Amino acid sequence: MGYLAEFWLFVSRLATVTGLLVRALVSFRDRPAVRFRLFFERAGGGFIKLGQILALRYDLLPSHYTEELLKLLSRIEPQPFADLEQVFIEELGERPATFFRKFNPNPIASASISQVYRATLHSGEEVAVKIKRPGIDYVFATDFALASFLAGFIGLLQIFHSINLDELVAEFIIWTKRELDFKFEAENAEVLREHSRRHPNTIIPKTYLDLSTSRVLITEYMSGIERLDEVIRKLDRNPNLKTDLLHHYRIDLSQMAYYFIVDGMRQYFIDGFFHADPHPANVFLAPDNRLGYFDFGIMGQVDSRRLELLKIVNGIANHNLQAVSEAFLAYSKRQMSEEIELFRRYRRSDHAKYERILSKIEEIIIANFREELEYILAPWYEELTEEGKEFKSSAAAIFSKLLLKAESYSVYVPREMAIFFRSLIIADMVALKLDPQFKMIKAFKLFFQEFPLERAATIIEEKSHERELEGEIDPISALDYEQLVEFKAIERERLAAATERLSELVLYYAEHYEEIRKML
């Protein structure tokens, strides 16, 4: 597509989307939440995907908005098969009949990026064939630019004070670009499948890598399953569904609610590689209490820093808030370790004094943070003391308060950790649908029954050591003279930044605590 065509596509989409946005803002025909959903539905393209992401942001939007936006997960109109068949031919060189004994042209699923068809290989294996919608790359590229433009414009108008639209749109673009490449998704699926081999209650469909491309993905067809979004919808209409699933398929929804959380924690903490988009349409239940996943475009990968979070979760599970406070502090110190080490290296005459001051500041932080944690986590602990009562305390509210409180102590979690918290929030909302008496603390305890802290910590450390050995280099020996001069200049800049950050920290506590002032 030429630059002129791209420009006109952008202008045309801008006019369409802006008109729909204005209509959603000024119309009074429907409830605000319905108008919000209709905007994304009518805008189509990348905006449907953005609406689907917002449907899972329980930490940003009221529940009646997220409930309405969840309808976007299953309301995408399919395109004619002839359009999708052309994409298949362009990718694999032949019509589907060449590769399959049977191919049903009626889609079994239709999403904003692709459509899925059921087929049978000549070997007799049943497969699902996922084909990207034609021209969707151009549409999404235009919508990425358009969403960024609108986010900046709305930000100037200050319509949504509590939502960082630029950050939200940037995240939407990063993740959706990954989803647009099916090769990337196929590789993710195989990694997760390998990690899950030792866990028979977790199902990851097999991927046929030799038949898959960036626009066509062929996976094992899963029969006899119940997609979670369908289960949740049926539960609202049929109060006997829970009993029916248990009797006919040996699926205990209460047990599956807990397994859903425990398995997500296993992926994050034990494997360091996790499904970061576990919304109900991407998860299914199978007979004999098994749980599986679809769509592996949005995955998270984490390093050994997850060990600090593991200790935090363990402290929460055991109501050991002293340990939680110390783990948060250890994480904060790890974030500032480079600054502290630089300060020690170049400010040797001062560092003993600052060591004493920083040690005192640590004591203050732990004492204060422990009290605040007791208040934040109180709803979860109250649930444990009143078995059978439906509290429905929101993990979104508790995790959001926890992260905000950590930030007030200069503890900023990395992006992958924030994504994990968000995944837990999504899983918590799903678990509460499956079992209204679900308790997050109980799920934490079940995880540590399977993976005690010491065992999990050993696994994390061993895997981290293996990665370090694979990537180990000597950063200095590889530098020439000019690079050494540049390296020295960078060191000076880092020292200045380290000194400034440590000074700000000490100054803050000196202003609020007399004992720190006296030590200075």
Average pLDDT over residues 403-428: 76
Please determine, for residue 467, whether its predicted confidence score (pLDDT) is greater than 90: no
Of the two residues 348 and 185, the one the predictor is more confident about is 185
The pTM (predicted TM-score) of the whole model is: 0.80
Question: For residue 271, what is the DSSP state?
Answer: I
Please determine, for residue 333, whether its predicted confidence score (pLDDT) is greater than 50: yes
Of residues 354, 357, 405, the one with CA closest to residue 377: 405
Q: What is the model's pLDDT at position 476?
A: 43
List Cα–Cα distances, 40 to 56, 172, 403, in angstroms: 14, 14, 30
What pairs with residue 302 in β-bridges?
Answer: none
Specify the range with the lowest mean pLDDT, choosing from 119-123, 148-152, 164-168: 164-168
Please determine, for residue 162, whether its predicted confidence score (pLDDT) is greater than 60: no
List Cα–Cα distances, 410 to 167, 201, 371, 446, in angstroms: 20, 40, 17, 31
pLDDT category of residue 474 using cuts at 50, 70 and 90 = very low
Average pLDDT over residues 424-431: 86
Average pLDDT over residues 61-74: 81
Per the listing, tokens 């905007």 go with: 39
Q: Where in the chain is the domain with CATH 3.30.200?
A: 77-134+181-221
Please determine, for residue 85, whether its predicted confidence score (pLDDT) is greater than 90: yes
Q: What is the model's pLDDT at position 484?
A: 52
- Class of domain 77-134+181-221 as given by CATH: alpha beta
Of the two residues 179 and 211, the one the predictor is more confident about is 211
Give the 3-state secondary structure of residue 251. Answer: coil
**Distance between CA atoms of 52 and 76, rounded to whole angstroms?**
11
**Distance between CA atoms of 376 and 402, rounded to whole angstroms?**
7
Contact 145, 11 (CB under 8 A): no
pLDDT category of residue 472 using cuts at 50, 70 and 90 = very low
Contact 62, 31 (CB under 8 A): no
**Distance between CA atoms of 201 and 511, rounded to whole angstroms?**
55
Q: Which residues are catalytic?
A: 277
The pLDDT mean for the chain works out to 83
Q: What is the model's pLDDT at position 236?
A: 81
Of residues 211, 217, 245, the one with CA closest to residue 231: 245
